[in-house]
Amino acid sequence: MKLHINKLLIFVAFVLALATASCKKILDPDPKDVIPADEFPKDFWDAEFMLRGAYQALQPIVEYRFILGEMRADWVKPGPGADKDLLELANHSVTPGNRFTNWKVFYDLINRANYVIENVPRVPADANNFSQFEKNQYVGEARFLRSWAYFNLVMNFDSVPLVLTATDNISKVPYLSATPQEVILDTIEADLINALATTDIMVSVPNSFEVGKRVSEEQSRLRVTKKTVCALQAEVYLWRGKYAQAAAACSTYETVNGAGPGNRGDWFSMYLGVSNQNLFGEPMFFVAFNFLGREISPLMKYTSNDPASGGLYMVAPSDSAIKTYNPNYPNSVSTNNAIDEIDRGFGRSYAGSAPYYNRLKSSPVIWKYLGLGTVTPSTIDVPPNVRAPYQSEAKYHIYRFADVYLLWAEALNRLGDKTNAIARINAVRDRARMPAPAVTVNSTTEQIEDYILRERGLELGFEGRRWYDLMRFARRGRPELLVNAVKKRAPLPLHAHIESTLINPKNWYLPYNAEEKRLNPNL
């Protein structure tokens, strides 16, 4: 046991060295922090800690995923506390010095995943603790994590350096030129095929106080499983216009998932505690935070307008998003689901301002990451069910049931199967107690597609997906869809600039970071 603990401490030191290094020294651990190759890895615990180190790299990405996925789109707008970098993103005038052009957090995850892929196969198989199946599973999970990181980089930067080997010494860092997007996507597809074959339906974890392992439904949502792989496959295939493959991935997901969404009327609960038994198959893969473990989500800082809670109110729900949830806001919010989103609108996705949050005509805030319960509109002050100051532990969903079903609808619609596409939309709306979709088999492909985009906003709003959804739809020869969405959110004086900028698909991507270009002359 002492040997295991010593290895853990050394490996954690290595992981922390990666996580806290500068851009130039991201892969420059102190030699004393790394175990010699002939001593590591030796057993299951070494493999376990390697994989945990990779998953740990997801937490810093949440901030980037949220900001880059929302700030450039139409579902949010800059709040009063927005800084220069956020305003650049919102106004589509991003400079190379913008902190969100720094891709370090994504390459940190990639390097950790590469480390797992290279070193877990060296761990001796153990029939009792670490079978060959489990070894393959760990590598499959790492291949997914690497693929997800690269897909984010592709969606943000187009072409980026492709590194498929781990680096633990600054002298060995490969300063590569950018690899074309299609080559990276080919690599992702191949990795995901491998990951689908090797990952499990649910994960087994060591028992805390006894020998052996147990299947853990709760931890299966914090780890990559087959259905998580299917979700990313579907998104990648849709990005590339491979609609049949995307639909097949979603079909495999449904076979593997074996359960539908959570309870009707219980939509908000998926943002609360990790082990909510009413959620069934809705959560798939999310990043969790633990305040007592000093793991704090950054999203309270960005979305709260309560300074006492550490809120800087940098990001706010846009007027167009609010009007999509509740058309008569701020004059009224009803309980009529033919008009208003009763489960996903006011008091769920967004709410009023601090301290009570129930006032309709107060400054709205994104509620998903602040509330411990729903808020009902009122004309009197009602004490809110809000998270304690700085204790932002709200889960950040990477994939969930509704996301996959709407991706499925998107693929089926493009394949001409409007009946089943509408059925998938309806499954998501029914979970939120909303009427059947306002499209039929007589609607055009574009009309149904527009409705899917609207539904993805209502269901997945403020979850870091919106800009990438707009890009994916616009890549099908519909750039005006993206342009018009952003113009609808932006102030009128910016409309001409936004239109002239975003009509060119090259401007949908971020510039390379200035410091990265200085360090890597091959970019």
pLDDT of 217-245, one tens digit each? 667 888 999 999 999 999 999 999 999 99
Residue 384 pLDDT: 82
In a domain, 314, yes or no: no
Q: Which residue has the higher pLDDT, 279 or 357?
A: 357
The mean pLDDT value for 331-342 works out to: 94
Residue 37 pLDDT: 60
Residue 281 pLDDT: 62
- What is the bridge-based pairing of β-strands 315-317 and 350-351? unpaired
User: 22-59: per-residue pLDDT in tens?
Assistant: 333 333 334 444 455 666 788 888 999 999 999 999 99
The mean pLDDT value for 364-392 works out to: 90
In a domain, 155, yes or no: yes
Residue 32 pLDDT: 42
In a domain, 77, yes or no: no
In a domain, 438, yes or no: no
Q: What is the mean pLDDT of the chain?
A: 89
Contact 503, 483 (CB under 8 A): yes
User: 297-319: per-residue pLDDT in tens?
Assistant: 999 999 999 999 999 999 999 99
**CB contact set of 403 (below 8 Å; sequence gap of 6+):** 231, 397, 456, 459, 460, 465
Helix H, strand E, coil C: the string for 138-206 is HHHHHHHHHHHHHHHHHHHHCCECCCCCCCCCHHHCCCCCCECHHHHHHHHHHHHHHHHHHCCCCEEEE
Domain count, the chain: 1
Q: Is the pLDDT of residue 485 over 80?
A: yes
Q: Is the pLDDT of residue 98 over 50?
A: yes
pLDDT bin (cut points 50, 70, 90) of residue 171 is low
The mean pLDDT value for 171-190 works out to: 91
In a domain, 144, yes or no: yes
Return the amino acid letter for 29. Answer: P
User: 453-470: per-residue pLDDT in tens?
Assistant: 999 999 999 999 999 999
Q: How many CA atoms lie within 13 A of 265 on its CB side?
A: 1
Residue 109 pLDDT: 98
Contact 131, 47 (CB under 8 A): no
Residue 10 pLDDT: 37
In a domain, 130, yes or no: yes
Percent of the chain with pLDDT strictly greater than 90: 73
Residue 17 pLDDT: 39
pLDDT bin (cut points 50, 70, 90) of residue 11 is very low
Counting Cβ atoms within 10 Å, is residue 511 exposed (0-12), middle (13-18) or buried (19+)? middle
CA distance 39 to 355: 56
Residue 84 pLDDT: 98
Number of neighbouring beta carbons within 10 Å of residue 167? 18
Q: Is the pLDDT of residue 202 over 90?
A: no
> Tokens 């089926």 appear where?
412
Q: Is the pLDDT of residue 346 over 50?
A: yes
Whole-number Cα distances in Å, 377 to 333, 346, 362, 462, 495:
7, 8, 11, 21, 33
Least confident of 58-72, 129-143, 259-273, 308-322: 259-273
Residue 33 pLDDT: 47
In a domain, 206, yes or no: yes
Residue 49 pLDDT: 92
pLDDT bin (cut points 50, 70, 90) of residue 15 is very low
Least confident of 189-198, 281-290, 488-497: 281-290
Q: What is the CATH number of the domain that holds 230?
A: 1.25.40.390
Helices 495-502 and 479-489: crossing angle, nearest 10°? 160
Q: Is the pLDDT of residue 208 over 70?
A: no
Q: Is the pLDDT of residue 415 over 80?
A: yes
In a domain, 349, yes or no: no
Least confident of 1-15, 317-331, 340-354, 416-430: 1-15
- What is the bridge-based pairing of β-strands 365-366 and 350-351? antiparallel
CA distance 148 to 445: 29
Q: What's the domain range around 236? A: 2-61+107-257
pLDDT bin (cut points 50, 70, 90) of residue 216 is confident
Q: Is the pLDDT of residue 170 over 70?
A: no
CA distance 470 to 96: 23
User: 242-290: per-residue pLDDT in tens?
Assistant: 999 999 999 999 988 876 666 787 899 888 864 444 445 688 899 999 8
